[in-house]
Structure 1
Amino acid sequence: MKKSAILVVDDELFFRRLYTELLSEEGYEVEAAASGDEALERLRQGGIDIVLTDMVMPGLSGMDVLRKARSMNNPPEVILVTGHATLETAIQALKNGARDYLIKPFNPEELRHLIRTCLEQRRLLDENILLKSQISLFRKGQNLASLLELDLLLAEAVKALVQEVGEGRGFAFLSEGGTINGLYGLEGLNETEAMALARAILPLLESTVGMRRVEAAELPLDPNGPGNVQSIFLFPLHGQKSQKGSVVVLNPALGAMVSPLPQENLLFLSEQTALGFDNSCRYQGARQMMYTDDLTELYNYRYMQMMLDQEIRRSERYSLCFSLVFIDLDHFKDINDTHGHLAGSATLKEVAVLLRQSVRDVDVLFRYGGDEFTAMLVETDYEGAKQVAERMRKTIEEHCFRAGGDLSCRLTATIGYATFPSNAGDKKSIIDLADRAMYQGKQVRNVIRGAWETGEK
């Protein structure tokens, strides 16, 4: 068992020897300092449990030592010794954080009792701090394991792991097929630095199962990556039995990682992150099935309702606009009647592909039902919606549909569109106007129609 370490501080050699002899007999590890400056130099090295310091000394006084010691990480307990004690100095010492004080001359047993009491209080305090730390760690892990929203989970995981090492930088990334799909929870890094480091790390992930420490020399570091990379911890992310990415924690920009590192705590948090990530992947998969059309793999009507509510709130909050586009295939029933329902299903899949090619990644496509499709064009005004609608119409008209086999056929589409908030101020109205514009176009077919052409605003 490690001996308790006591630092004796007194400018008089007699008292340094006296304290050292009395306390060494009790089995303590005792060191001595002849001045306040010498004492502080030793305290900065750490490992001292109690400081027994004289109140009055040349240079730094015992009170100065007390104040500076209390500002250190994991400060020692301080007992002040004085031969000129008054009630005022005692109160001042306790106010500044002293554990107790001793008056010269003193009974040796009084000193021994005071040291024993002080160490026992410190032990109980350390146990309490440890218990609080373990409870806090458990709560963090519990939180990580229960988060289902992927963005939030990864950001919280990075924050928790970076905090656990005391200092540092970190981020998370997702990957698939050798490609990095996204960065999350950047701490102390910008996107360019994180992406460069993620690319260097990616080849290592195939052979990484659990928490892994990597030194900078093992990586082909990019000049665009973060500076002063020394040590990196990888916490791989696996979902549904496949490797999906990693949480990355590295040393701070201006130094090395703290030592010793809390390996067990890091392992615990990484395990809880991995559990949360797997749960999140399952949840995302289930939600995808719930909100995705099985045939076309576009979002379905239920998801469209949710997205419209969300986009209306966002547009109102930031004074933005968006447009809703309805697409109806002309004479689609003829394909089912002529070539069968399998050919019809294959054609709908081809239409979904064409629509994806006609919009941006930020826009959202839905299968409204049957042979009707819908597109939500984010931050797109009336003129922008008109251009996209015409591009969709033309793309479908010019495409030769194979209907899943050797057959070939042509299709056209009639498209209607409306813009929020210029045409409609709520969800029901914008759906109704875009749908009505599309149905008015059906009188001619293979045309686009805006909400203004319905005669309503």
Structure 2
Amino acid sequence: MKKARILVVDDDEFFRVLCSDILTSAGYEVVVASCGAEAVNIVESESLDVVITDLVMPDMSGLDVLQRTKQNNALVDVIVITGFGSIETAIEALKSGAVDYIRKPFNGAEILHTVSACLEKKKLLEENFDMKQSLRLYEITRVIISTLDINKFYHVAIEALLQTVEADAGISIMYASDNKTLDIMAVKHLNAEVAAQLVEYLKSKHEAELRALNTVMIVPLSDFSEEMRRVLGLTQTMLVVPIMKAGHPAGFLALLSGSRIFGQRDSVNASFIAEHVSQAYDVALQYTEAKETAFIDSLTNLYNSKYLDIVLEKEMKRADRHMMPLTVLFIDIDDFKQINDRNDHLVGSKVLVEFGKVMLKFVREVDTVIRYGGDEYVVILVDAEHEVSMKVAERIREGIEHTRFLAEDGMDIRITASIGVATYPTHSRDRAELLRIADKAMYHAKEESKNIVYLAPVPGPAKLPQQ
């Protein structure tokens, strides 16, 4: 068990030595100071548990030593000794933060009892603080672990760290898919431009350390360039926490502090949070993958019909917010049954896969291609009025018509498709009705001649009944 470290301050050598001998014989580690100035120097440079100081000294009073001790570390307890001073001075010391007082002349039993009681109280308070801190950390980690949405995760993670470690600002940054670029995922109490400069600085100056980081890293202000010091202003230090995946950092949480310097307790608490953040990140990724798999067609690897309502509702809301249209293409392969009849179902399945790939060539990344079922597909074109969408649909139709399907298998299968077109909000503002109109337009194309694009009739102004 670690010995308590006690500083004894008294200008009277007899009482200083007597007090030191009593405490040393009881197993305490004792440091002595013969004046207030010497005591303050020890308080500010060394680790202490208790300070025992005389109240009346020539250069600096015991009240001054008490004040300077509490300013440096409020957790260090101070016991004052009064002999020549009045009891009122001792009471003033208690009001200023002293835990107890002893009157000269004192005996060994009295001073040991006072010190023992002080340390026992300190221990109970620390245990209580640790218990409260543990409960608080537990509640914080529960929030992290329960966050399954990967986009919310980055915000929850940095907020959790800010709740655990006292800091002024924080950012979540993750390696992009190229495993080189660091993307900012969430920012708290920090200007976006400053956050970008900070990430760039970390990337350029601490690349090797970040790549190998598997524990909390504290970056002192002295490590920052003059330019970054100017940008960050009053920042004193930075704490970097790795988000681990498969033994390697997938990203980082970084905290900045201008009012204090991060210490050992901060590192311990941050490490605890880091472990749970990494676990939560892995769970959120698995959940995201599982969720996406539920909306992915197992044959073509395109989105499936379950995803259609979700994405269409989302895009319709976005269209409303930005006051822009979107168009639905309903596509059906012409005479697909004949492909299965002439070949086999394996060939038919391969055609469906390649058909999806052909369509993807003619749409943008922001657009969505869905296998609706069987040989039917739906394409959602965002920010596209029906005139533009007709041109896109025609390019898809031509691309399908001119593709030699399964050429890599030595086959030459030729197919065509019929496409129906309906636009939001021109044709309808209702999701189900918009799909029905596009579907009906596709069947009209089939009935007319197949291998064509058909735009659903655009509603005109209502006609007044004739008199």
Task: Provide the TM-score with structure 1 as the length reference.
Answer: 0.72
When the two chains are superposed, the root-mean-square deviation of aligned CA atoms in Å is 4.9
1:432 deviates by 4.1
Query: Are the equivalent residues in 1 in contact too, given 2:333–2:376 (CA < 8 A)?
Result: no
Shift of the alpha carbon at 1:155? 5.0
- The one-letter amino acid of 1:126's match is E
Amino acid at match of 2:120: E
1:395 alignment partner in structure 2: 396
Amino acid of the structure 1 residue aligned with 2:50? I
- Distance of aligned partners of 1:58 and 1:401 in 2 relative to their CA distance in 1, 3 Å threshold: farther
Distance change in 2, residues 1:86/1:32 (3 Å): same
Match of 1:285, as an amino acid? E
**1:236 aligned residue:** 244
Q: CA 1:359/1:183 → structure 2, altered by over 3 Å: closer, same or farther? A: farther
Residue number among 362, 365, 369 corresponding to 1:365 in the alignment: 369
C-alpha separation between the residues in 1 aligned to 2:376 and 2:228?
47
Structure 1 residue 375 displacement after superposition: 3.4
Cα separation, 1, equivalents of 2:444 and 2:71: 77
Match of 1:416 among 417, 421, 425: 421
Separation of aligned partners in 1, 2:455 and 2:12: 95
Query: How many Å apart are 1:295 and its aligned residue?
Result: 2.0
Counterparts in 2 of 1:214 and 1:110: CA distance versus 1, 3 Å: closer
Query: Which ranges in structure 1 are unaligned for 5 or more consecutive residues?
Result: 217-223
**Which of 273, 289, 296 in structure 1 is aligned with 2:293?**
289
1:347 is matched with which residue?
351
**Superposed displacement of residue 28, structure 1:** 2.3
Q: Is the 8 A contact 2:330 2:438 kept in 1?
A: no
Distance 1:172 1:387, change over 3 A: same
Q: 1:46 to 1:162 in 2, by over 3 A?
A: farther
Out of 325, 332, 335, the residue aligned to residue 329 of structure 1 is: 332
1:274-296 per-position Cα deviation (integer Å, ceiling 9, x unaligned) = 54344334333332231111122
Q: Percent identity?
A: 28
5 Å matches for 1:99-118? 99-103=99-103, 109-118=109-118
In the alignment, does 2:79 pair up with 1:79? yes
User: What amino acid sits opposite 1:393 in the alignment?
Assistant: E
Q: Which amino acid aligns with 1:350?
A: E
Classify the secondary structure of the residue corresponding to 1:98.
coil
- Residue 340 of structure 1 and its aligned partner are, at CA, apart by 4.9
SS at match of 2:328: strand
Q: What displacement does 1:81 show?
A: 4.1
| In structure 1, C-alpha distance between the alignment counterparts of 2:34 and 2:430, rounded to whole Å | 80
- Which residue in the other structure is 2:222 paired with? none
The one-character-per-residue Cα deviations of 1:321-357 (angstroms, maximum 9, x if unpaired) are 4524123135243544555544443333233223333
One-letter identity of the residue aligned with 2:432: K
- Give the deviation of 1:393 after TM superposition: 2.7
Residue matched to 1:219: none
Cα separation, partners in 2 of 1:251 and 1:303, compared to 1, 3 Å: closer
1:391-429, Cα deviation, whole Å (9 max, x unpaired): 243133134333324214242442413225x66444334
Q: Which residue of 2 aligns with 1:173?
A: 174
2:378 is equivalent to residue 374 of structure 1: yes
Q: CA deviation at 1:70?
A: 3.7
Distance 1:272 1:306, change over 3 A: same
Assess if the C-alpha contact under 8 Å between 1:416 and 1:434 holds in 2: yes
Q: 1:95–1:153: structure 2 CA closer, same or farther, 3 Å change rule?
A: farther
In structure 2, distance between residues paired with 1:300 and 1:431:
15
Query: What are the within-5 Å matches in structure 2 for residues 36-55 of structure 1?
Result: 38-55=38-55
Report the AA paired with residue 419 of structure 2: T
Paired residue type of 1:398 = G
CA contact (8 A) 1:308 1:427 kept: yes
Aligned match of 2:223? none
Instruction: Count the aligned residue pairs.
Output: 436
Report if aligned partners of 1:416, 1:450 keep a CA contact under 8 Å in 2. yes
Q: Cα gap change, 1:259/1:215 in structure 2, threshold over 3 Å: closer, same or farther? A: closer
Change in 2 beyond 3 A, CA 1:249/1:177: closer
- Where 2:45 maps in the other structure, the secondary structure is coil
1:113 and 1:197, CA in 2 relative to 1: closer, same or farther beyond 3 A?
Answer: closer
Displacement, 1:76? 0.7
For the residue of structure 2 that corresponds to 1:358, the secondary structure is coil
Which whole-Å CA distance do the structure 2 matches of 1:214 and 1:354 have between them?
Answer: 49
For 1:290, the aligned partner's letter is: A
State the Cα distance separating 1:119 from its structure 2 match: 0.5
Distance 1:56 1:415, change over 3 A: farther
The answer for the alignment partner of 1:246 in structure 2 is: 250
Does the 8 Å CA contact 2:241/2:271 hold for their aligned counterparts?
Answer: no
Matches of 1:288 and 1:115, distance apart in 2: 64
Residue 361 of structure 2 aligns to a residue whose secondary structure is helix
Cα 1:77–1:394 change in 2 (3 A) is: same
